Amino acid sequence: MNNSKKFSLWILTALVVGNMVGSGIFMLPRSLSEAASPAGVLSAWLITGFGVLMTALVFGNLALRKPKLTGGPQIYAKELFKPGSNASTLSGFMASWGYWIGNLAGNIAIITTFAGYLTTFFPVLVNQADLFSIGSFTLKVGNALTFVVCTILLWGTHFIILKGLEGAGKLNFLATAAKVIGFFLFILVGLFAFQKANMLPFVAPRFDEAGHTIGLFGQINNAAITTLWAFIGVESAVVFASRAKKQIDVKRATMLGLLIALAIYVGISTLVMGMLNHDVLVTSDKPLIDAISGVLGPVAGKVLAGVGLISLFGSTIGWVMLSAEVPFQAAKQGMFLPAFLKVNKKGIPVFSLTVTNILGQLFIFSTISNTISSAFDFIIVIATLSYLVPYFISSVFQLKLVITGETYTTVKSRVIDGIIAVLSTVYSIWVIIAGTADMKTFTLGMVLLSSGILFYKWVKPSTKQAKADKLSSQH
């Protein structure tokens, strides 16, 4: 790929912001209000923001110190073991598999949210009239139409990307610019419409399914995995590192994107809690629309819904691009099925893109039997757990470099990077423990992550790749 067709700093930043500020911005205010009181929500944001900042610094640092390791944070798994060994290949493959599965689920969370916001213009999407029944299963009109809309968006995006990554990247940039402007305008309105009474009591108990009281610390634990969903995508620039014009832009885009997204998320989630009564918020399928409509009327709600649809369309492009890139880059390094190396004349990983979207289509079936909000909740927990393993691996790899001194020339930089890596590792472990406390979630997550082992026998790193790994470890 010639340099003129590679991604600039702003395209990379737009991918980070566009992928981070996707479905979460629209649905998280409701999910967070269910999980925790305002005190718990704000505490979770602070802890998650700090933890992800440490992880983002790890990503940026590794992109500079190991520029040949491209394709995402899961790639570093193979570097924890002897170069060219079976353990190196297996760990790289399993980490790539888990990260890919997380991306698949993430795509569908965005696509189902798009359908949810489309209901502002087409209420028929939530029509609960029976379409037909088979045995005990009854398909509702709204669910059937939602399935059709999600399918069209998925495959429409597929064909846009096939026309070229550069064009898709520019579309993502335009959609991201529109969403950032729209959300900052929402924040301005929210500042004037904010009602302190809706945030009280600031510290209040929440209850689990059995009716047991959940204290503040338990609420923070519950909210932590939900707030982490907001930051999934912070590694987007790292995934596209091989397509960046300058390697330094990968770190810059990661940090800039994180700060923009953090400002939007904390501002909007806090303001929505102050604009809507708690009982209304926890039952809303489109909380931002309901909040702005209550202040400025239904026309303003429709305008925001339009911004939301543009935003989600851009996010869908960014996430589908990223999802196809992950197994393609892993296969280039001998850590995924060789078939995923196939590209078309424009350098698009066409086989990876097609398989990714076919599997994504299977996830879309969750919209047939669930409401949009319950499908979203199920998907984000499974997807977030899939991301945590590569995040943890990246932090451990950074620790390994610090301990061995590889790529370092000064003690000061080793100490600073070591502290960052320790904090990022501790954060990753904490969220993994919090997120897998529920046995059903843990079981489903493990089944998805471990299912990759069935395909490992087809993953054979070439002799050339093994030699390259050994040479890389020696420099």
The pLDDT assigned to 340 comes to 92
Q: Is 234 helix (H, G, I), strand (E, B) or coil?
A: coil
Q: How confident is the model over 270-275, as a mean pLDDT? A: 85
pLDDT at 96: 86
43-70: average pLDDT = 85
How far is Cα 76 from Cα 395, in angstroms, rounded to an integer? Answer: 9
Residue 471 has pLDDT above 50, yes or no: no
Is residue 259 exposed (0-12), middle (13-18) or buried (19+ Cβ within 10 Å)? Answer: middle
Residue 297, phi-psi category: left (phi > 0), alpha (psi -120 to 50), beta (remainder): left
Report angle CA 337, 239, 26 to the nearest 5 degrees.
Answer: 110
Q: Which residues contact 91 (CB under 8 A, 6 or more apart)?
A: 77, 78, 80, 81
Which residue did the predictor score with more confidence, 341 or 286?
Answer: 341
pLDDT of residue 350 exceeding 80, the answer is: yes
Sign (positive or negative) of CA dihedral 441, 273, 215, 285: negative
The pLDDT value recorded for residue 156 is: 92
More confident residue, 367 or 4: 367
Q: What is the dihedral of CA 310, 311, 317, 318, to 10 degrees?
A: 160
What pLDDT score does 441 carry? 62
Q: Encode 141-160: b = buried (16+ Cβ within 10 Å), e = exposed.
A: bbbbbbbebbbebbeebbeb
Q: Which two tokens stand for residue 235?
A: 């590694």
User: Residue 110 — very low, low, confident or very high, per pLDDT cuts 50/70/90?
Assistant: confident
**Strand, helix or coil for residue 7:** strand
Is residue 287 predicted with pLDDT exceeding 80?
yes
5 pLDDT tier (thresholds 50, 70, 90): low
Q: What is the per-residue pLDDT for 375?
A: 55
Interval 159-183: pLDDT, tens: 988 887 777 878 878 888 887 888 8
Q: Who has greater pLDDT, 196 or 349? A: 349
Q: How confident is the model at residue 463 (pLDDT cuts 50, 70, 90)?
A: very low
Q: Over range 42-67, report the average pLDDT.
A: 86
Weakest-pLDDT range from 37-51, 227-241, 370-384: 370-384
Q: In angstroms, rounded to a whole number, what is the distance separating the alpha carbons of residues 391 and 55?
A: 7
138 in helix, strand or coil?
strand
Q: What is the pLDDT of residue 466?
A: 46
473 pLDDT above the threshold of 50: no
Structure tokens at 197: 């009474």
Burial 77-95 (b: 16+ CB within 10 A, else e): bbbbeebbeeebbbbbbbb
Q: In this prediction, what percent of the chain has a pLDDT beyond 90?
A: 9
Per-residue pLDDT tens over the stretch 94-108:
888 888 887 877 787
Bridge partners (DSSP) listed for residue 132: 139
Running DSSP on this structure, what letter comes out for residue 137? E
For the chain, give the percent of residues with pLDDT over 70.
87
**To the nearest 10°, the Cα dihedral for 413, 415, 421, 423?**
-130
Residue 400 has a CB neighbour count (10 Å cut-off) of 14
Q: Which amino acid is at 98?
A: G
DSSP class per residue in 46-80: HHHHHHHHHHHHHHHHHHHH-TT--S-GGGGGGGG
pTM for this entry: 0.76
Instruction: Kindly tell me the burial class for residue 412, based on how many C-beta atoms sit within 10 Å of its own C-beta (0-12, 13-18, 19 or more).
Output: exposed
Judge whether residue 246 has pLDDT over 70.
yes
Task: Using DSSP, state whether 346 is helix, strand or coil.
Answer: coil
The residue ranking higher by pLDDT, 373 or 67, is 67
pLDDT tens digits for range 433-453: 776 666 666 676 677 777 788
Given this model, what pLDDT does residue 464 score?
46
Mean of the per-residue pLDDT values for the chain? Answer: 80
- Token pair recorded at residue 401: 């470099």
Q: What's the pLDDT score for residue 371?
A: 57
Residue reference for tokens 């995924």: 336
How many CB atoms within 10 Å of residue 450?
Answer: 12
C-beta separation of 153 from 117 below 8 A: no
CA distance 393 to 383: 17
Contact 302/62 with Cβ under 8 angstroms?
Answer: no
Structural domains of the chain sorted by starting position, each given as residue range(s) with its CATH number in brackets: 12-470 (1.20.1740.10)
- 405-410 contacts, C-beta under 8 A, 24 or more apart: 407/65, 407/66
**Confidence class of residue 462 from pLDDT cuts 50, 70 and 90?**
very low
Rounded to an integer, the average pLDDT of 283-303 is 82
- Position 357 scores a pLDDT of 92
The single-letter code of the amino acid at 151 is T
Evaluate if residue 474 carries a pLDDT over 60.
Answer: no
The residues, ordered by sequence, that sit 6+ positions from 259 with a Cβ below 8 Å of its Cβ are: none
Question: What is the model's pLDDT at position 204?
Answer: 75
Helix 24-35, helix 248-275: angle, nearest 10: 50
With a cut of 70, say whether residue 379 has pLDDT above it.
no
**314 has a pLDDT exceeding 60:** yes
Residue 81: C-alpha distances to residues 69, 297, 388, 453, 470 (Å): 15, 59, 20, 18, 11
Higher pLDDT, 83 or 424: 424
Q: Which amino acid makes up residue 105?
A: A
